[in-house]
Every structure is written in structure tokens, then in C-alpha cells.
Amino acid sequence: MNTKTLTAAVIAAGCAFGVVAADQKAVPTTAKAKDAKPVEVEEKVDDPLDKFVSAEFHIGFDSRYMTYGMIDGKDPIVVPGAQIKFFDWVYFGVESIFDVTKGNGKRGGYGNRAGRWTTLDASVGIAHEFELSEKFGKLSVDFNYMYEYIERYHSDMGDTQYLNLEFGLSDGIFWVEPTLAIERDLMADDGTYVNLELGHSFALIDGKGEDDDPVLEFRPSIGQGFGNTQRVRGYSPEERTYDHGGIMDTCIKGEFTWRFVDHVSLSAYVAYSDYWFDSTMRHCAREHNAEWGKGCDHSWNFYGGLGLSVEF
């Protein structure tokens, strides 16, 4: 057999072997495909510890100390706080207010309080989020008792206690997400304050997963406050008492939240509040605010703030 004949024979044999081999491989592959098990995707498993205990630390900066749409401090304040929660139900919290400048204390008749704490709030409560349905989304409920300790500047300044109840709906088919908050003052003036807020959260930058919170979020809202006679009387000027309850402050607010890393978020807000609907309430707010000095003798206010929150 010459060289050309040998080469042709080798090539032919190689082609035949390749065809047979390919045919033999095709059969087992098909058979294996029938018996193959679907690839299991590893699901994210929640840490059991997260269900047992969680914690949060936050600190905020507000350009003014505002309460019920009225000025409680013309100058900025810093508000640090912390909370620990067990079983996603029961929590304990603490929060304090620090004056940044000496202006609030001097105008309020308390002396120089720059860099000093003014109130210390301790709270205990129950809070949980319930899955209702695809239509109604989630219902959040928060009920707590808070004791507010006030540093003794004058003998007539006493502590107070509050009961707070809050409901919120979110993630349903409704575009507007309502929040209803009820506050009852148990000691200072027996006042009751109710606030209904309507807002919507816009995801500007989505989170990594479908169930993750947005990386960047904007929430505009409008809230309306209501107070009973005791609530309004507690903020009446000393020379005049307003025995009048009803519609109080209206607040328009816009807030950005930036979750730039896991468990850490920054927030910023701007707000405008005024007493639109009740002329008697508006006069009360104007006179109360005027006690804080020049430029405050009106019922409306613009203010804003920044916040940092860390979750564990």
C-alpha cells in the first residue's frame, strides 16, 4: 500500500469514527436529559437572629424645632436616638434633643443651652407590619408609651407622658399611601393631636432585588393636623388663652432617602407648614411664634433637615 492510499484510508477511518462517536454521544445525552433533575437555585435564607433582635441608631439635624406646625425653638437642633426591637414586635427606644446655639434657650427664658440636651424621651411599644392582600398591600401598626424628661431649668417645668398610635398602608394598588397618627398627652395639658398624611414614594434608583428597598427614593406628602381644645390651649400665649379646638397645621413635605450601602441611609427633607383653614387657630399660631422674636410673627414656616440611620 503506497503512501497516498494509506493516508486516504486513515482519513476515511477517522471520519467514520467521528460519525459513530457523535451518534453514540447523542443517544446518552438525550437519555440523560430525560432523567436530569432541574438545577436548584439557592434561595436567600433569613438569619434567625434578625427575627429575634434588630437595632437602629439615628441622628437628625433640623433647622428649627417644630411642634404641631408651631415654633418650639427658632434655632437648629440635633436629635440622636436609638431603638432595639425583639421578635419584630416589641421595641425599646430613647431619643434626645440638643440645642445647637444659645438662641433657643435665651428666647425661651431658659438661659444658654448651646450644646446641652433639653429633653430625653424613653419609649416602649409594639410595632409590626401585616401582609393584607395584593390589593391593600401592607398595614403597619405602631403603639407606644413615651416618657419625656425635661431638664430642670425652672421649677414649673415638669415631665410629661404620651400615648402614640400610628397606622400606615403601603405597597397596595392605591397610588396614595395614607398614615394616621394619634398622640395623647397624659400629663402636661391632656391634649390630643391627630395627623392624617397622604404621600407616595417614588423609586428613583431601584434596589438590587425585587424585594429590596430603592437605593434612591423621593417621597412627597401632605399632612393635616387636628387638635382638641386642651391641645391648642397648651400653645396659647400667656396673656391670652385660646379655648378652641379643630383643624390645626397643614404641612407639605418632600423627603429624599439615599441607601448608599447596606443598612445605612441618608435622608434630607424640606417642609412648609401653615394654618390655612381656621382663622382662630391661625391667630394662635401667629402669636405663639411671635414670642420667638423678630421675623417669626406669622403662622407659616419653612424648615428642613438631614438625617443618618444605621441598622443592625
Q: Would you tell me how many other CB atoms lie within 10 Å of the CB of residue 208?
A: 9
Query: Residue 127 burial by CB count (10 A; 0-12/13-18/19+): exposed, middle or buried?
Result: middle
Residue type, 241: T
In the chain, the percentage of residues whose pLDDT exceeds 90 is: 63
**Which of the pair, 171 or 219, is modelled with greater confidence?**
219
Q: What is the mean pLDDT of the chain?
A: 85
- Is 6 part of a structural domain of the chain? no
Three-state SS at 292: coil
> Is the pLDDT assigned to residue 47 strictly greater than 80?
no
> Is the pLDDT assigned to residue 152 strictly greater than 80?
no
- For range 131-151, the mean pLDDT: 94
What is the pLDDT, as a whole number, of residue 236? 83
- Is 80 part of a structural domain of the chain? no
What is the pLDDT, as a whole number, of residue 109? 67
| DSSP-derived pairing of the beta strands 137-150 and 202-205 | unpaired
Residues 130, 139: Cα–Cα separation, whole Å: 5
Residues 177, 166: Cα–Cα separation, whole Å: 13
What is the pLDDT, as a whole number, of residue 22? 43
Q: Scan for cell 434561595, then name that residue.
A: 43
What is the pLDDT, as a whole number, of residue 308? 98
What is the domain count for the chain? 1
Q: ∠131-134-140 over CA atoms, to 5°?
A: 30
> Is the pLDDT assigned to residue 155 strictly greater than 70?
no
| Structural domain of 179 | 128-311
Residues 54, 204: Cα–Cα separation, whole Å: 27
- Is 149 part of a structural domain of the chain? yes
- Is 188 part of a structural domain of the chain? yes
- Is 275 part of a structural domain of the chain? yes
- Is 89 part of a structural domain of the chain? no
**Which of the pair, 221 or 210, is modelled with greater confidence?**
221
Q: How far is CA 282 from the centre of its chain?
A: 29
Most confident option among 17-31, 78-92, 177-191? 78-92
- For range 108-136, the mean pLDDT: 89
Taking only the tens place, the pLDDT of each residue in 56-69 is 999 999 999 999 99
pLDDT band at 189 (very low <50, low <70, confident <90, very high): confident
- Is 269 part of a structural domain of the chain? yes
| DSSP-derived pairing of the beta strands 137-150 and 301-311 | unpaired
- Is 47 part of a structural domain of the chain? no
Residues counted in the chain: 312
Which of 73-82, 105-114, 125-134, 239-248 has the weakest average pLDDT?
105-114
Q: Are 305 and 47 in contact (CB under 8 A)?
A: no
> Is the pLDDT assigned to residue 227 strictly greater than 70?
yes
What is the pLDDT, as a whole number, of residue 298? 96
DSSP result, 172-215: SS-SSEEEEEEEEESSSS--EEEEEEEE--EEEE--SSTTSPPS
